[in-house]
Amino acid sequence: MNILTIILVVAVPTLLLWLEKRVKIINIIGPVLICYGTGLFLGNIGLTWNSAFIKENISSIAVPLAIPMLMFPSNPRRWFRVAGKALLSFGLGAVAVIIAVVFAYYTLGNQIEFPKQVAAMLTGVYTGGTPNLVALGQALHVGTEITPALIMVDTVICAIYLVFLLTIAEKTLNLFLPRSVITNYAAVDASAENSKGLIAWLLPILGTVICLVAGVTLSYFIYEGINELVVLMCLTLVAFVMSFFKNVNEWSKSYQMGEFLVLVFCVAIGLVSNFGLLKEQSISLFAFCALVVGSTVVLHFLLAWIFKIDSHTVLITSTAALFGPAFVGLVAGRLKNRSLITSGMTTGVIGYFIAFFLGLLVFNLLELFEPNTLSTTK
């Protein structure tokens, strides 16, 4: 089954990218949504997939490889023109998460185990991704069953929001937010390509290897082992620095390779989004997480309306916060605005840095206001 899984997650994106320019309906729907939908379908028709293998050997590899390749063509100088707006939107998103988590805690917290810890972990995951959820769970000593249950519930709920992002989100936000001016640049100007043939494919790979080596080296220096959070932060920052160089911007196949890896990731994440597993999880935990996500999204959109932030900036920073940099490329591609990638990746990295501390802040605030009622059981 593992071999079949590898063949599947590679074959589906390859076929779709080949058909995209030949079959109009694929271009209309988009390869991203089709790949994700294919994974969801195959993950929920009764077939047994090795979730651990997919997460550890496909998703966890595709993401680190895709991030630098998507960033290399994006000249950060373009982003500085809208940096303030992107940072404001991301900050408003973080504020929305904290308000939503506190609201859920006082509304449904008495229905779940470890409510303060769960509140902190959700603050971490919705501002800085799953690695921060795991790190906060370890730091706050939650029960061993809570972290995997929370990850499963989060995956299913966020799958629903991802479908919204990839379908009607832009049209919905354009009803009440300023429309975005699309400054979509080609991944590389064909006349400016600095490489041809095989070397055009090898240069992005070499650059990505440099980023990975830097991340792994720093992780071993700090933790004497692999720390996913440190690796992802470091490789993203190294890729960001490299993307300032014109020669790196002109690596002609970089974005194409990164896009392919994102599609691989979409199929893989769809396979592990087994809705049937929700039966094994607490309905109260599901309700708690759903309330947090729903409230966060609504509050973020409301704050964006108050501050008059354009729809694309809101959507890409919401993606960076709730999903992390891994999903920035696919949402930017769906919006047909690649200029969003650098701002999304950058705010995603900021999220990696601050999420753990925001989670601890929320936990301690809840402790402060209820110092004698810390619940560790229902």
pLDDT digits (tens, 9 = 90+) for 90-109: 999 999 999 999 999 999 99
Give dist(CA 231, CA 84) in Å, integer: 27
What are the tokens at 352?
A: 């990696």
Provide the 3-class DSSP secondary structure of residue 312. helix
Question: Average pLDDT for residues 258-279, to the nearest whole number?
Answer: 77
Give dist(CA 180, CA 136) in Å, integer: 36
pLDDT digits (tens, 9 = 90+) for 152-168: 788 788 888 988 998 89
For residue 253, which phi and psi values (nearest 5 degrees)?
-105, 0
Which position has the higher pLDDT, 115 or 341?
115
Give dist(CA 138, CA 130) in Å, integer: 13
Task: Output the pTM of the full model.
Answer: 0.72
Question: Average pLDDT for residues 181-190, to the nearest whole number?
Answer: 50
Go through the chain and tell me how many residues it has: 378
Q: Which of 116-125, 189-198, 352-361 has the highest mean pLDDT?
A: 116-125
Asked whether residue 375 carries a pLDDT value surpassing 70, the answer given is: no
Q: Residues near 368 by Cβ (< 8 Å), separated by ≥ 6?
A: none
According to DSSP, residue 55 is labeled I
Asked whether residue 281 carries a pLDDT value surpassing 60, the answer given is: no
In whole numbers, what is the pLDDT of the chain averaged over residues? 83
Tell me the residue type at 8: L
Which position has the higher pLDDT, 311 or 345?
311
Asked whether residue 373 carries a pLDDT value surpassing 70, the answer given is: no
Q: Which of 46-50, 127-131, 234-238, 293-297 has the highest mean pLDDT?
A: 293-297
Report CA Rg, the chain.
20
Helical spans, DSSP H, in 20-145? 24-29, 31-43, 51-54, 60-71, 76-79, 83-108, 115-128, 130-139
- What is the pLDDT confidence band of residue 53, given thresholds at 50, 70 and 90? confident
Closest CA to 252 of 126, 72, 377: 72
pLDDT for 292 equals: 97
pLDDT for 183 equals: 57
